[in-house]
Chains A and B, each alone.
Chain A
Amino acid sequence: MSAQQFFFIVTAFVILFSAMMTVLSHKMMHSALWFVLALLGVAVIYALLEASFFAVVQVLVYVGAIAILIIFSVMLTRKAMEDTGSPVNKTWVLSLVIVLLTTVGGFLAFRTWGALKAFPADLLPVHYDIGELGLALVDPERFALPFEVTSILLLAALVGAIYIAFGRKEDNQ
């Protein structure tokens, strides 16, 4: 087993365990913190795939902004630090059976898929260059239009969120 495989397996276990604990935690704040660990694990996977820009963007945007927002919104609720009891309800046996069947079925169905055993191809030097992504973003024949539409999308998100937050505040007053 190569070092890359070893690190991948360890990271995958960490991510899966954190994701499970996110769902199964009794306190909401603990769920939020396990979620942060899962996001950090995903950043490690990006780094293993040699997509270093996306690894850092994952930490910067997801852990630095979205996780913080989630923690803030968890604190906005009243039950943030109370023990809300086990989140598992009584149908857990049936759901576990269905999940196992789906997973095993999926494995059996994809057994003959050649890409399951392949290693990722080596990247060309041009793929390591973030400048290529930058050039593609403003090239009129490639991604210039989605680039500009993204800014309008972000504007819509900003205006919408502020309107929801402050529209309601004016209603209360």
Chain B
Amino acid sequence: MTFIADPITFITHWLTQLMGGWGWSATLIQVLLNILGSGILVLGAMVFTTVLIWAERKLGARFQDRPGPNRVGPWGIFQTIADMLKIFTKEYITPVGADKIPYNLAPALAVAAVLCVWAVLPFSSTVFGTNIGIGLLFIIGVGGLGEIAIILAGFGSNNKYALLGAFRAVAQLVSYEVPMVIVLLIPVMLSGSMGMNDIVAAQSVPFIVLAPIAGVIFFITLIAENGRAPFDLVEADSELVAGYNIEYSGLKFGFFFVADFLHAFTSALIFSTVFLGGWQGPGVENAPILGFVYLLIKTLVVYFIMLTLRFSLPRFRIDQMMNLNWKILTPLALFAFMVTALVNKLLPAGNNLIRIGGLLAVNLLLWFITNWALSRFITNQPRPVVSGARPVAIGEKKTVVKEETSA
């Protein structure tokens, strides 16, 4: 392989031969290369978050018709570096009565849970962290670690708002994992393996074409798992005062922030890998570095769509969110799974037009049925009425207004 076509493998081989020439054993070389590789990935991901934060602020500002950061450096690109410098030197204000170990462990665990996903993603046909055969389940499993981090944060803060916020956040995450896990069965079915490398290699036709409903449901649940708008109820400032990270200051809060933004980008990466074909594209057999470029382009497009949704849609209420999950997404995911399994078995195998067309047609049929069912059965539900005396501020006119209750 040449350096241009496949730089990472070239460098790895060169380093292996260099260290072999010094007489080091094979396992030691492997361990050292692993440490080097994972170190680069971890540091690279965390540094890349600064670019992401800048991009999100700029884009969000443009959506809201304002310039965004533009003072520090051209187009404000050094804004995040300035913010990070500031956050490094802010004081850690630990609330009284906080449990030391859960309180301090939570931010590190939150970031670690997101970073672990980068170990199993294939960035090109030759560049990946590790090819464990169960990459997809691993990605969902480390989401569970993130939930534990949230509980640690809420519980360790000795603050009832933090605890309430943490439980709401975990309830949301746990609920939205159900359709996500069900829908992820479909790419595993179509590619015959749970490893991310195999899923990408099987996508000569991207899975978003073969299973569009699965793709849409997965996209929605990824946004919900991340806690971004329109699902960002748990950090709604007017309701829960920043949720489970109220009592965090300084770099600890910075890490929750970093975990949030990095999770958004990682979700876009996962979606591009599983449904959009990852590093597949014209010409990757000869030059694997092109795979990395394709993946980046696809991820940035998906990330842009996520940002558009974030800055355009209003926030969901918690009961609307749970209704969406349990009454719409989960049954739809179950039916999509059953229908895809059955239809895919009945149609002739291979990437021929009949199979692709058949699966697309079945998905569209399911989509129309869902639309019809929604329009027929879910009427505009009247918001629950608060009756009885409710405390009003002194001096206000007492008018009984219909208001929704949310705990």
A residues with a Cβ closer than 8 A to B are 29-30, 33, 36, 52-53, 56-57, 59-60, 63-65, 67-68, 71-72, 75, 81, 128, 130-131
Report the bound CA distance from A53 to B132 in whole Å.
Answer: 10
A64-B177, A68-B151, A75-B167 are contacts. A33–B138 as well, Cβ < 8 Å? Answer: no
For the complex with contacts A52-B134, A56-B141, 17 further pairs of A-B residues with Cβ separation under 8 Å are: A29-B155, A30-B99, A52-B133, A53-B134, A56-B134, A56-B137, A56-B138, A59-B142, A60-B141, A64-B143, A64-B174, A67-B148, A68-B174, A75-B163, A81-B155, A128-B133, A131-B192
Contact A59 B144 (CB under 8 A): yes
Contact A59 B145 (CB under 8 A): yes
The total of interchain contacts (Cβ-Cβ below 8 angstroms) comes to 55
- Residue from B151, B163, B167 with most neighbouring chain A CB atoms (10 Å): B151
> What DSSP secondary structure best describes chain B's contact surface?
helix
Report the bound CA distance from A70 to B121 in whole Å.
Answer: 32
Report the bound CA distance from A81 to B163 in whole Å.
Answer: 12
Question: Which residues of chain A are within 8 angstroms of B144 by Cβ–Cβ distance?
Answer: 59-60, 63-65, 68
Q: Does B194 contact A (CB under 8 A)?
A: yes
Q: Does B114 contact A (CB under 8 A)?
A: no
Contact A68 B137 (CB under 8 A): no
CB within 8 Å of A: which of B94-113? 99, 102
Nearest CB on A from B344, distance (A): 15
CB within 8 Å of A: which of B290-313? none
Question: Which residues of chain A are within 8 angstroms of B274 by Cβ–Cβ distance?
Answer: none
Write 8 A-B pairs (CB below 8 A) sorted by A numbering.
Answer: A33-B102, A36-B148, A52-B132, A56-B134, A56-B138, A56-B141, A64-B147, A130-B134
Question: Which residues of chain B are within 8 angstroms of A36 by Cβ–Cβ distance?
Answer: 148
Question: Which residues of chain B are within 8 angstroms of A75 by Cβ–Cβ distance?
Answer: 163, 167
Nearest CB on B from A170, distance (A): 19
Nearest CB on A from B191, distance (A): 12
Nearest CB on B from A118, distance (A): 24
Question: Which residues of chain A are within 8 angstroms of B145 by Cβ–Cβ distance?
Answer: 59, 63
Question: Which residues of chain A are within 8 angstroms of B142 by Cβ–Cβ distance?
Answer: 59
Q: Does B152 contact A (CB under 8 A)?
A: yes
Report the bound CA distance from A81 to B99 in whole Å.
Answer: 10
User: Digit string of B163-184 for contact with A (CB within 8 Å is 1, else 0)?
Assistant: 1000100100010010000000
Nearest CB on B from A138, distance (A): 12
Question: Which residues of chain B are within 8 angstroms of A68 by Cβ–Cβ distance?
Answer: 144, 147-148, 151, 170, 174
Q: Does B140 contact A (CB under 8 A)?
A: yes
- Residue from B133, B141, B147 with most neighbouring chain A CB atoms (10 Å): B141
Nearest CB on B from A82, distance (A): 12
Question: Which residues of chain B are within 8 angstroms of A128 by Cβ–Cβ distance?
Answer: 133
Nearest CB on A from B201, distance (A): 16
Report the bound CA distance from A30 to B134 in whole Å.
Answer: 31
Contact A33 B152 (CB under 8 A): yes
User: Digit string of B123-162 for contact with A (CB within 8 Å is 1, else 0)?
Assistant: 0000000001110011011111101100110010000000
